[in-house]
Structure 1
């Protein structure tokens, strides 16, 4: 399939004051996301979060007009590389942002680095790029892959679960997540199962899991994979019987489809829709008003990455061509993040708090995430010491 260029709709372009490819815009942002296939909901939430921040600022970031160009990588690394080449060679973008899945991120890292392009990530955070393949021009406004699993590992330890059964897709992020969980979990792993990326039927895995009789189950199954797994977990009579600990499986991208089936499941990440700070509360209200759904962490991360870019462009008075000054401004992270205060480590990944959540109904009766603990405060990833910047 030929690379499919996706652009802002005419109505949205007018509402933002944007025109794709406009010569009047002073800063061009190429936004790469997975917008088709099993991971499409995640990528669309990222686009929705980022464009919401743009819309709120009248199509500007840092006071500068923005040309926003988005591309769909289709969850295929080669398509991601083609999209980045287009950003660099045809669109002449100033910043590349976004990226949903880590296999795509690993594929595009070298062309971005070779072009000395400034990159602001909104989701994928593979371990190699936090360690010995770190880059001074890369800033990840979300988290390093392992960390959401690490907070669930610590949570499982705190809950004194003696053994845990693990299920994850067999790709870069899935393997990173397993390392993260086991790095902080002090009990026994009673099963470690790797599934196909995009798998939809988990009957065989659930039969094996039931036979193993673990004290808890940990899964990393983003997007449609998570929807199917959790529904089947409920159908097998396991929800409420064996605690389900998750990463990127029950959140704003999947809970509308899961509804009550996900009640009681646990999740770990850096932000939740019940956070009580001004930026987060305003974001949640605006997102729900515009999109008629509770925002996921993917929307939150992309929104926050837009705020980060906004703060940096403002600091350099729009002179993003001064790459060192612009990168220094990004590194300062001098803005009111919806996660609260954080700082960038040497490798371009945040040092931030990580929380445990439980799926519950909010004050409006909607199925959402409720903050229940902060197992890893002021947490740095496991790889930064390998970064030689």
Structure 2
């Protein structure tokens, strides 16, 4: 700190603005995602997507070096809070990007917001922070959790499925997914199964599905849970008989393990690798070249998070001490999203398009989700009306 004071003092003597004098200070971004256990692939995609964005920016924002500090939340709320304290007190980060899971977000949201540190979620978007508990220190580059599941509910309704089996994990995002599905779906829910987060054996539930013979199954099973479910669903002979509608269960994080078992299964998303715009084509090609895998939503949303931060740094001319100005710059979202159209609602969650996707096997043997149809356009979440933006 002494050197910093000397630098600022010298700048004043020379008539140079103080913020220019500290321009060489690094911009520090903390990344907290799940990097251990069956869900690690999700965190890896987010970490790598953000790293690619920083690389594309030349490792700098407004001429200042960017330092990224990555920590593993271990999918444990208590551990995540400890890790966040380290990012704040030891690493003194300017922004925090993460996490993947909503239960982790619920644990780290308060300490970050209370410290007036900007938290940008590249995945988790629970309803709990989208309404009355919205904050000018919290932004989401993904979606409100309900929305991607609303896609499948509308599709199920439009396709005339009369009876649907709902299968989700028993935590906030799972509850949000079921609620989201039921917004547009007006048919019968023949069974609603909530299973422990991290469970990998679905034989009991698959037996129920086979017995009840619903018109479709709706599920949300992220990471290793999705890998196990899809393989077991296929092995049980259900894939050819009962349509499989899901979000995050068959995506680019799980497809390398699911492979042919997932082909033809439907998903709901705000993006897909084959989304046709120049910036996305460049991103997908660069990501595949760098990491030898197909990027998923976790990767692209983290990429956008880095570009969002860059846009804010530029807008405030590098002065991150003016929190209100930084918040206003983040809310403006003056960058080109990989998804195309994107803007923030009053609650810091996006207004964007949503699609029905389907798993396909590419000519090169890799698997990816591909857009079938646009289901919602310029869609904002239903909780934003309860958010009163800070002045």
> Normalised by the shorter chain, which TM-score bucket?
over 0.9
After TM superposition, the structure 1 stretch with the greater mean CA deviation from structure 2, 168-177 or 157-166, is 157-166
Structure 2 CA distance, aligned partners of 1:364 and 1:278? 21
- Could you say which residue in structure 2 is the equivalent of 1:381? 381
Within 5 Å, give how 1:338-377 maps onto structure 2.
338-377=338-377
Cα drift, residue 25 of structure 1: 4.0
Structure 2 gaps, min length 5: 1-22
Cα drift, residue 182 of structure 1: 0.4
- Could you say which residue in structure 1 is the equivalent of 2:114? 114
- Could you say which residue in structure 2 is the equivalent of 1:214? 214
CA displacement 1:19-39 (0-9 Å, x = unmatched): xxxx95421111110111121
Contact 2:152 2:356 in 1 (8 A): yes
**Given the two structures, how large is their TM-score scaled by the length of structure 1?**
0.92
- Could you say which residue in structure 1 is the equivalent of 2:155? 155
- Could you say which residue in structure 2 is the equivalent of 1:9? none
- Could you say which residue in structure 2 is the equivalent of 1:200? 200
Structure 1 gaps, min length 5: 1-22
Contact 1:118 1:137 in 2 (8 A): yes
Cα drift, residue 170 of structure 1: 0.1
Cα drift, residue 84 of structure 1: 1.2
SS of equivalent to 1:30: strand
Q: Does 1:262 align with 2:262?
A: yes
SS of equivalent to 1:359: strand
Structure 2 CA distance, aligned partners of 1:265 and 1:196? 23
**Given the two structures, how large is their TM-score scaled by the length of structure 2?**
0.92
Contact 1:268 1:355 in 2 (8 A): yes
After TM superposition, the structure 1 stretch with the greater mean CA deviation from structure 2, 313-322 or 247-256, is 313-322
CA displacement 1:56-98 (0-9 Å, x = unmatched): 2221134321111111110001111111111111211111112
SS of equivalent to 2:90: helix
Contact 1:62 1:311 in 2 (8 A): no
Task: Return closer, same or farther for 1:351/1:59 CA change in 2, 3 Å cut-off.
Answer: same
- Could you say which residue in structure 2 is the equivalent of 1:68? 68
- Could you say which residue in structure 2 is the equivalent of 1:327? 327
Structure 2 CA distance, aligned partners of 1:53 and 1:61? 11
Structure 2 CA distance, aligned partners of 1:357 and 1:62? 37
Structure 1 CA distance, aligned partners of 2:229 and 2:198? 11
- Could you say which residue in structure 1 is the equivalent of 2:181? 181
After TM superposition, the structure 1 stretch with the greater mean CA deviation from structure 2, 312-321 or 66-75, is 312-321
CA displacement 1:30-61 (0-9 Å, x = unmatched): 11101111211101110010001111222113
Structure 1 CA distance, aligned partners of 2:272 and 2:38? 23
- Could you say which residue in structure 2 is the equivalent of 1:308? 308
- Could you say which residue in structure 2 is the equivalent of 1:6? none
SS of equivalent to 1:55: helix
Cα drift, residue 363 of structure 1: 4.6
Contact 1:62 1:312 in 2 (8 A): no
Structure 1 CA distance, aligned partners of 2:240 and 2:317? 54
After TM superposition, the structure 1 stretch with the greater mean CA deviation from structure 2, 181-190 or 41-50, is 181-190
After TM superposition, the structure 1 stretch with the greater mean CA deviation from structure 2, 224-233 or 76-85, is 76-85
Cα drift, residue 388 of structure 1: 2.1
Structure with larger Rg? 2
Cα drift, residue 164 of structure 1: 0.9
Within 5 Å, give how 1:124-143 maps onto structure 2.
124-143=124-143
Cα drift, residue 365 of structure 1: 4.2
Task: Return closer, same or farther for 1:239/1:62 CA change in 2, 3 Å cut-off.
Answer: farther
Structure 2 CA distance, aligned partners of 1:65 and 1:225? 38
SS of equivalent to 1:286: helix
- Could you say which residue in structure 1 is the equivalent of 2:53? 53
Structure 2 CA distance, aligned partners of 1:311 and 1:200? 41
Structure 1 CA distance, aligned partners of 2:301 and 2:91? 24
Structure 2 CA distance, aligned partners of 1:64 and 1:336? 21
CA displacement 1:298-333 (0-9 Å, x = unmatched): 111111111111111122221122211111111111
- Could you say which residue in structure 2 is the equivalent of 1:171? 171
SS of equivalent to 1:91: coil
Cα drift, residue 194 of structure 1: 0.5
- Could you say which residue in structure 2 is the equivalent of 1:225? 225
SS of equivalent to 1:241: coil
Cα drift, residue 362 of structure 1: 3.0
Contact 1:357 1:373 in 2 (8 A): yes
| RMSD of aligned residue pairs (Cα, Å) | 1.3
Contact 1:264 1:359 in 2 (8 A): yes
